[in-house]
Amino acid sequence: MEKDLSNYRKIYKKKELSKKEVSENPIELFQKWFYEVEEFGGNIEPNAMTIATVAANGTPKNRVVLLKKYTWEGFIFYTNYNSSKGKDIQQNPNVCLSFFWNNLERQVIIKGKAEKIAENLSDGYFESRPDGSKLGAWASNQSEVVPSRAFLDNRLATFEKQFQNKEITRPNYWGGYIVKPTSIEFWQGRPNRMHDRIRYTLQENYDWKIERLAP
């Protein structure tokens, strides 16, 4: 099977990114871009991000997760700690996050280290989830091989019965990570593939070095 995609072309011309317009702190620029993406519309889940981890054998893996909070300190998401991403992070906390906002022809690429957040913060977020999502966290041994869909449905039914008329507590193997950035790159599509790329790099004194990169 073969399909030639060489004629798939798009002219990027919606925005530009000037170095003189960027903030001293990249979180401020991230917040500005995020709000603009939301207001412009067209991205169903603007908080969807790709996270790349590296397994013990050196094999990288990407998958899409949902950003649930960002602060001056970093970017927070939640998962099963026993999942493939959780195991990867345990042995190598260096990760890369990326957002692609096609509605405004933008990307953000974040390199940093992931670490577990405090248990009470994971508890607080877990309590805010719908009951179905809470039960799903109990029913799914994420990333493990299962014999069938029926097996998963039966596990869910088991926990529905177990927690019937009871508080659904957070499993101790499920919780949040915060990715503390060491580098954040903002990419804005421009005509003729002469894209704007501004990179922030964290320095030893915790200031951010700002540089323009060639597209």
Give me the catalytic one of 193, 197, 199, 212. Answer: 193
User: Which SS3 state, helix, strand or coil, does residue 67 take?
Assistant: coil
User: Which SS3 state, helix, strand or coil, does residue 202 take?
Assistant: strand
Q: Is 193 a catalytic residue?
A: yes
Amino acid at 169: T
Residue 202 backbone dihedrals phi, psi, to 5 degrees: -75, 130
Q: How far is residue 13's CA from residue 188's CA, in Å, rounded to a whole number?
A: 9
Positive or negative: CA dihedral 152, 153, 154, 157:
positive
Tell me the β-bridge partners of 180. Answer: 113
Nearest Cα neighbor of 101 from 180, 185, 23, 188 is 188
Q: How far is residue 43's CA from residue 115's CA, in Å, rounded to a whole number?
A: 28
Amino acid at 179: V
Q: How far is residue 27's CA from residue 171's CA, in Å, rounded to a whole number?
A: 31
Length of the chain: 215
Q: How far is residue 195's CA from residue 75's CA, in Å, rounded to a whole number?
A: 25
**Among all residues, which ones are annotated catalytic?**
193
